[in-house]
Structure 1
Amino acid sequence: MTAVETTAPGKRGNRSKKYLEGPERERQILEAAIAYVSRRGLAFSTREMAEELGISQPLLYRYFANKDELLQRIFDEVYLKNWDPRWNIDLADRSVPMRDRLVRYLRAYTATILDEHWIRIFIASALDDPQISKRYLGMLHETTFPLIFKEIAAEANACIPEDAEFSEIAREIIWGFHSSFFYLGVRKFIYRGELPKDIDAVICARVDVLLNGLCASLPNLSYSTQTGVTE
């Protein structure tokens, strides 16, 4: 059980509070809540969480007004705080070959998400309350996925209309590729299996497969435009 420390160290059974400054206690509660949600999932009440953390429900509400606000803070701490805006900036840097851009991005991204809390809370959200998983996937679908496809197509000199929208087929190709790195975390923290000994070699190999296959397929993919579908 993850509990928030409330008694003075070395005084077992002493009911006196350990005085923490507001921000320090809030941080302690948030970290314990993240561990709790990682283990328990999102199907809980604030009363259940407070009891598990060894604090009162009013104390929990002092820092987080309700469950939704707590989940928002967990999203900010576990996901948004670890989202690096430079990823998309670097992916769009055409002075660097696309293979190098993708490998560099996926090294950083995979290192970020291969974290037990990151993976388990994401899966729990998808099962219990999708507000966290949907928000994060929305960030990927709105920015990173279309950008990766656009940059691959540009380097391959593919003729894509300027007003073309990200097609469903293109989205599925990039999403499937990107999800393969998320699955490494699922394998480790959900299935409790082993990871490849050389993750960097896996990243490079998957990038090569994507680039070779997608570039060969680009002429046959369709792109939705404002006036219809063009081939």
Structure 2
Amino acid sequence: MQNPDTQAPAKKKRTRLSPQDREHLILTGAIEFVADHGFAFSTRELARHLNVSQSLLYRYFATKEEIIEKIYERVYVGRWNPEWDEILTDRKLSVQERLECYLLDYSKVVLQKDWVRIFLLTAFEDPIISQRYISMLRRRIFEPLLDEQLASMGRKALANPKDRELALELIWGFHSSIFYLGVRQWVYKTPTRVNIETLVRSRTRSFLVGFEAFLNELDQPTNGENPPC
């Protein structure tokens, strides 16, 4: 008879995950993998990294394209705060207050490792994620911000398409400066030493001063002269 003190420890019961939990774990692992390696992978490589069989992976994601779509939905669409749209059009606040409020919350999302690296790495292989997201930014952030800034100045929408496109480019450049903070941290490994909130507020104020001046200059006649270089 075996001594009770020398009995082998009982085996732990293996927890059986629900299909929903299993899918969540696989997708979370896929996001981490893609953030480090990009989309130039095979489903076999992904399955090996996740320590699951390829057949199990296919049970939840039939194709690599489906994995990419789910990653986009989780990381980009899923983290989009619908209140951002409302904040930017809330005329009870100044444009500066609205923009600061939006960007401070937006920076908490965009400065995450998976957000930054997936956005950049996939752009080199297939820019579908970056193109879709930028299109959403233009429609839901850049264009409303331009219209709200014009309204705050008592101005109507820009009639000249070239002027409007230039104005949107200026907004895009300013907005991208927030994303660049994430690039510095997660790509260049040189994060800013300045408090993010202080930096966002300072950049917002500086941008709006120059942006308002730009919009006012659109009404000024140039007399056909080019400014000095």
Mean Cα displacement is larger for which, 153-162 or 90-99? 153-162
Q: Which residue of 2 aligns with 1:187?
A: 184
List structure 1 runs of 4+ shifted beyond 4 angstroms: 161-166
Which moves more between the two structures, 149-158 or 29-38? Answer: 149-158
Specify the alignment match of 1:4 in structure 2.
none
Q: Shift in Å at residue 28 of structure 1?
A: 0.9
User: Which residue in 1 is equivalent to 2:111?
Assistant: 114
Match of 1:210 in 2: 207
The amino acid of 1:44's aligned partner reads: F
Q: CA deviation at 1:159?
A: 3.9
| 1:174 aligned onto 2:183 | no
Number of paired residues?
210
Q: Residue 146 of structure 2 corresponds to which residue in structure 1?
A: 149
Q: Which residue of 2 aligns with 1:23?
A: 20
User: Closer, same or farther in 2 for the Cα pair 1:107/1:73, shift >3 Å?
Assistant: same
1:37 corresponds in structure 2 to 34
Q: 2:52 aligns with which of 40, 51, 55?
A: 55
Q: Is the 8 A contact 2:31 2:114 kept in 1?
A: yes
Secondary structure of residue in 2 paired with 1:196: coil
Task: Tell me how far apart the structure 2 counterparts of residues 156 and 191 of structure 1 sit (CA, whole Å).
Answer: 39
Distance 1:66 1:213 in 2: 48
Does residue 92 in structure 1 map to residue 83 in structure 2? no
Which structure is larger by alpha-carbon Rg, 1 or 2? 2
RMSD (Å) for aligned C-alpha atoms:
2.2
Flag the 1:221–1:56 CA change in 2: closer, same or farther, 3 A: farther
Instruction: Indicate whether 1:79 and 2:81 are aligned.
Output: no
Q: Matched residues, percent identical? A: 40
Match of 1:68?
65
SS of the counterpart of 1:167? helix
Structure 1 residue matching 2:189: 3-state secondary structure: coil
Q: Distance in 1 between matches of 2:49 and 2:66?
A: 19
What amino acid does structure 2 have at the position aligned with 1:184?
L
Looking at structure 2, the residues matched to 59 and 144 of structure 1 have their Cα atoms a distance apart, in angstroms, of 40
Structure 2: runs of 5+ lacking an equivalent? 1-9, 220-229
Deviations 1:48-84 (A, max 9, x none): 1112211111111100110111111111111111101
Task: Report the AA paired with residue 207 of structure 1.
Answer: T
Post-superposition Cα deviations, 1:116-158, rounded to whole Å, max 9, x if no partner, equal 1111111111112212111111100122101111111111223
Give 1:161 deviation, angstroms.
5.2
Aligned-partner residue type, residue 100 of structure 1: E
Report deviation, 1:46.
Answer: 0.9
Tell me if structure 2 keeps the 8 A contact 1:170–1:221: no
Structure 1 spans left out of the alignment, 5+ residues: 1-9, 223-231
**Distance of 2:158 and 2:132 partners within structure 1:** 29
Tell me, in whole angstroms, the C-alpha distance in 1 between the residues paired with 2:158 and 2:110.
Answer: 34
Query: Aligned pair in 2 of structure 1 residues 160, 22: CA closer, same or farther (>3 Å)?
Result: closer
The AA in structure 2 aligned to 1:170 is A
Asked if structure 2 preserves the Cα contact closer than 8 Å seen for 1:169 and 1:221, the reply is: no
